[in-house]
Structure 1
Amino acid sequence: MKKISATILAFNEEKRIGACLESLRGIADEIIVVDSGSTDRTVDICSRYGCRISVRKFDGFGAQRQYATSLTTHQYVLSIDADEVLSPALQESILRLKEEGFSHRVYSVARLNFYCGFPVRHCGWYPDRQIRLFDKRYANWNLRDVSEAVIFRDSVRPALLDGDILHYRCDTPQQYEAVINSHAKMKAKVLAAKDEEIGFLSPFLHGMKAFLKTFVNCGGIFEGKVGREISRQSYRAELLAYTAARKIKKSSC
């Protein structure tokens, strides 16, 4: 049977990482956890599951994921977050690959995102296909701070696995808003580093574009109150990122 290394990024995830690790039982032959300095019981929980743990200061998502990949010992790497769980169907798909052998170098999987326990199938949140299982000899993470992705040669075509990654984004609206704030700060630095000028109206215009895309183009309107809230947060995320980026550019002049 072929072997798989699983990688997890973690920071203060004591409430959710147990479910993640449970879903990897019988799937992952080793689990690498890169922790960003948790102050709760995250590391203790991972230790009880026999994970190999490395503590590393957070340096952007892409760099952190690639570092985790560098610690693996098996050829195929399954990347999953502490707030994600493999669905039973996805577990079966991966077990079948391990038994029959890998016929592709890169595999994609649909991700079903949950907002405060509610499964969201619009807003651009589903199927939200992700490259999460790959042969590390032919694919690796880019080093982007946000919107990181697995990169590979143009001639490689990802195979779609049956089943979903279940992503529990937040337990409360406040928790989701805190994540938005954190990601907006990182995105602001990326935007500010570009040569493009950020005008006075840019934050508002990009925010409205994000809202309309989420609510209208991606069907957020069909999700009722949840769809409106997610669309509002999409607006807010872009507004914060571009506003902060504009301030950074102005201060550096």
Structure 2
Amino acid sequence: MMKKKVSVVIVTKDEETNISECIKSVLWADEILVVDSESKDRTCDISRGLGADVIERKWIGYADQKNYGIQKAKNKWVLSLDADERISDDLMKVLVEILDKDSIYKGYKFPRKNIFFGKWLKNGDLWPDYQIRLFEKERASFNNRYVHESVQVDGQVCKLDEPILHYSYDNVSEFFQRQKEYAILSAQESLKKKVSLNKTDIFFRPLWRFFRSYIIKSGWKDGLEGFIVSAGLAWYVFMRFAIILEFKKKNEVS
């Protein structure tokens, strides 16, 4: 038994293809809590069948849903996961060791091993992709960004070497569709915050994102997959600025 008890919180929506392996990778935890957003598939049934507690809640946003799960967790320590993530046996041993002793740290950040189309991308913008995922419940929460939300910790954070496994996309169309969804959310957030930008941003910033990921961070070493991901990230930036400029142009006309 670990000295510190931990709750694993997983936010889901129509994740029947992923949730089983995710939960199986954390069966060692003291509590597994799934916060589901009105799934139409078997996500909830599969989760309950594997022993997880399930709360069904209307979707409000990524950060809001995750913070709700943190609040509902029974234990002092929380490990936050997405349904397409896994804890390897090696990482499990590291986590058990951390949770079995006292420490000055209030949070722990992990690299993410992003696996696209069945291949681990070892280069480009998505490695090492550090994320804070283990933290003391009362000292941390997700910020209120519309997308790409992250954990803010009141206290010291320790950086670990062992990665979380992230099985993100199985095909190109799914990847580009998700980038479009993220771009819309990011544009909405920028408009709400009245972020200023130049018309040249729509040209130069996507090019820079591709150049940084594919050339500077050696995404080219990952072959075709590295090119597709770098291009997709650049397309995300282009879509974000295009939506913002379109909205502002409509307002000028009206």
TM-score range, shorter chain: over 0.9
Deviations 1:34-65 (A, max 9, x none): 11221111111111122222222322222121
- 2:8 equivalent in structure 1: 6
Map 1:1-253 onto structure 2 (within 5 A): 1=2, 2-26=4-28, 28-153=29-154, 156-253=155-252
Normalising by structure 2, report the TM-score.
0.93
Are the counterparts in 2 of residues 115 and 169 from structure 1 also a CA contact under 8 Å? yes
Give yes or no for contact 1:65–1:141 (8 Å, CA) kept in 2: yes
1:71-128: CA deviations, max 9, x gaps?
1111000001000001111100111123334542111111100111100111122221
CA gap of 1:68–1:251, structure 2 versus 1, over 3 A, is farther
Letter aligned with residue 219 of structure 1: S
Q: Secondary structure at the match of 2:163?
A: strand
Matched letter for residue 186 of structure 2: K
Residues 109-118 or 218-227, more deviating: 218-227
List structure 1 segments (4+ residues) > 6 angstroms apart after TM superposition: none
TM-score, normalised to structure 1, is 0.93
- Residues 117-166 of structure 1 show CA distances to partners (whole Å, capped at 9, x for unaligned) of 1001111222211100000122221111112111123xx33112342100
Distance 2:249 2:54 in 1: 41
Contact 1:123 1:215 in 2 (8 A): yes
Aligned partner of residue 163 in structure 1, secondary structure: coil
Of stretches 156-165 and 34-43 in structure 1, the one that deviates more from structure 2 is: 156-165
Aligned residue-pair number: 250
- Aligned partners of 2:61, 2:68: CA distance in 1, in Å? 11
Letter in 2 for 1:50: G
Q: Supply the RMSD in Å over aligned alpha carbons.
A: 1.6
Describe the SS at the equivalent of 1:159: strand
Q: How many Å apart are 1:248 and its aligned residue?
A: 2.3
Shift of 1:191: 1.7
**Cα deviation, residue 173, structure 1:** 0.9
5+ residue gaps, structure 1: none
User: Residues 177 and 99 (structure 1 numbering): CA distance in 2 closer, same or farther, change over 3 Å?
Assistant: same
- Which one-letter code corresponds to 1:31 in the other structure? I
Q: Which runs of 5+ in 2 are unaligned?
A: none
C-alpha distance in structure 1 between counterparts of 2:79 and 2:196, whole Å: 39
Give the aligned residue type for 1:75: K
Following superposition, the deviation at residue 209 of structure 1 comes to 1.5
Give the whole-Å Cα distance in 2 for the aligned partners of 1:234 and 1:56: 31
1:66–1:143 contact (8 Å) kept in structure 2 = no
Q: Residues 59 and 145 of structure 1 are in contact (CA less than 8 Å); yes or no, is this contact kept in structure 2?
A: no
- Three-state SS of the structure 2 residue aligned to 1:134 is strand
Query: Aligned partners of 1:252 and 1:68: how far apart in 2?
Result: 38
Kept after mapping to 2: 8 A contact 1:93/1:162 = no
1:165-203 Cα offsets, whole Å, 9 max, x none, are: 000111111111121111111011012223344444322
